[in-house]
Amino acid sequence: MHQEEFRVRTAGRQFLDLTSRIAEVVRHSGVRQGLCNVFLSHTSASLVICENADPAVRRDLERFMQRIARDGDPAYEHDTEGPDDMPAHIRTVLTQSSLVIPVRDSRLALGTWQGVYLWEHRTSAHERRVLVTVW
Amino acid sequence: MHQEEFRVRTAGRQFLDLTSRIAEVVRHSGVRQGLCNVFLSHTSASLVICENADPAVRRDLERFMQRIARDGDPAYEHDTEGPDDMPAHIRTVLTQSSLVIPVRDSRLALGTWQGVYLWEHRTSAHERRVLVTVW
Amino acid sequence: MHQEEFRVRTAGRQFLDLTSRIAEVVRHSGVRQGLCNVFLSHTSASLVICENADPAVRRDLERFMQRIARDGDPAYEHDTEGPDDMPAHIRTVLTQSSLVIPVRDSRLALGTWQGVYLWEHRTSAHERRVLVTVW
């Protein structure tokens, strides 16, 4: 059981590819066959496994979320931190805070087109903590 | 590997904070560094990790789901148990039935603002079974 | 730690019940008490735990997704593989690529009405790889 935390700095709404950072933790762990958990301890950013080839996919995902959870919707009660506050919580609940990925032959058993992304849902920059556990 | 089940009684649509109940199972387990799985064996209630400070966040989440998966939508074929039957299945599929949370220093490694909630999606009261595994 | 991969052939958009295939891997593993991870290494098909009794539930889920992530929406930038390309990525991000299910008494600890499904989001047939790990 190997546990390692790292921090990433986001620049407001964006996708950050964490795949190589996580793969590095798997290498450190020495685990050949097992599993890897990635955990994000925040409620306004989330984790997704998504297509890693065409950046337009991430732009379309961002647009999709802006459409179904509109910023500044007057229906929101919670807007303490601005028009992107409640949408960020909704987006987090609709995606993941925790991912489990198998490890095979000492590597993440991701498909060819799968990347692991941190999705920042706030419009301003944030520091985010990522805890990786391999076993 | 420590496995423990508990039951909770919901009062219809609501969020029930399970964080302290799960933390208790982690204590029973004696695990210092590891992981914890929370599993809900139902298809019309779900688990979410969400903001634990302002109850308005949960009211907004409930309103969001009522908007995107409208109760009694005539487009639903499946309405055997009433207008909230199919929306409950949709909400479950859009959120989680199973969560993995890291354990560090004998405690759930949740962020400051993260709570673990059971989200009841049926409008009537239900008894729900929660299975927690720590390893 | 037991790891086994199998392949399934989908016939375009549909739900494939994987429950018995996964239960078989759990039997092979010899694990009595533990956990099981199911991982799908694709970005245009996903995994869901959903109601297994009435097929209308799955038809309603399919209709729901067609409504919120419309095929051929002119707002999508990414449409390289056709009108169902970007919706498939959106559906995958809104559901799961990885599931963790507890094992109790050598069996998947699923509820009575829970089935594990592969949800094909592309309109054409695909071969999909499923990696199951039991520990």
pLDDT at C106: 97
Looking at the complex, report in whole angstroms how far the Cα of residue B37 sits from the nearest Cα belonging to chain C. Answer: 8
DSSP, res A41: -
pLDDT at C93: 98
Phi and psi at C29, nearest 5°, equal: -70, -25
Grade residue A120 by pLDDT with cuts at 50, 70 and 90: very high
Give, in degrees to the nearest 5, the angle at Cα B114 between A27 and A23: 10
Looking at the complex, report in whole angstroms how far the Cα of residue B63 sits from the nearest Cα belonging to chain C. Answer: 17
pLDDT at A113: 97
Q: Tokens 């959903």 identify what position? A: C50
User: Which residues lie across from A39 on neighbouring strands?
Assistant: A98, A131
Asked if A91 and A46 count as a contact pair (C-beta separation under 8 A), the reply is yes
pLDDT at B5: 98
Burial class of C125 by CB neighbour count within 10 A (0 to 12, 13 to 18, 19+): exposed
Residues of chain B with pLDDT under 70: none
Give the N- to C-terminal CA distance of chain B in Å, as an integer: 4
Asked if C99 and C38 count as a contact pair (C-beta separation under 8 A), the reply is yes
Q: What is the dihedral of CA C10, C14, C20, C24, to 10 degrees?
A: 30
In 3-state terms, chain B is what percent helix, strand and coil (to 5)?
25, 40, 35
| Whole-number average pLDDT of chain A | 98
Phi and psi at C65, nearest 5°, equal: -65, -40
| Whole-number average pLDDT of chain C | 98
Looking at the complex, report in whole angstroms how far the Cα of residue B119 sits from the nearest Cα belonging to chain A. Answer: 11
pLDDT of C13-61, one tens digit each? 999 999 999 999 999 999 999 999 999 999 999 999 999 999 999 999 9
Token pair for A5: 């935390």
Side-by-side strand order, sheet with B14-17: B14-17, B114-120, B45-51
In 3-state terms, chain C is what percent helix, strand and coil (to 5)?
25, 40, 35
pLDDT at A100: 98
Q: Which helix (H) or strand (E) holds B86?
A: helix B85-94
pTM: 0.98
- HEC string of A15-44 equals EEECHHHHHHHHHHHCCCCEEEEEEECCCC
Find out if CATH 2.60.120.460 is the number for domain B2-134: yes
pLDDT at C94: 98
Q: What is the dihedral of CA B107, A33, B130, A96, to 10 degrees?
A: 80
Give the closest of A33, A57, A102 to C39, CB-based.
A102
Interval A113-117 mean pLDDT: 98
Q: How far apart are CA C15 and CA B10, in angstroms?
A: 30
Q: How far apart are CA C116 and CA C19, in angstroms?
A: 5
pLDDT at A56: 98
Token pair for B30: 């004696």
pLDDT at C17: 98
Chain B residues near any Cβ of chain C (below 8 Å): 1, 3, 37, 39, 41-44, 68-69, 75-78, 80, 86, 89-90, 92-94, 96-98, 100, 129, 131, 133, 135
Q: Which helix (H) or strand (E) holds B51?
A: strand B45-51
Is the CB of A57 less than 8 angstroms away from the CB of C92?
Answer: no
Grade residue A63 by pLDDT with cuts at 50, 70 and 90: very high
Interval A25-51 mean pLDDT: 98
Give the closest of C41, C92, C94 to A109, CB-based.
C41
Amino acid at B111: G
Q: Tell me which of B38, B46, B49 to substitute to probe the interface with A (most A C-beta atoms closer than 10 Å).
A: B49
Over pLDDT 90: what percentage of chain C? 100
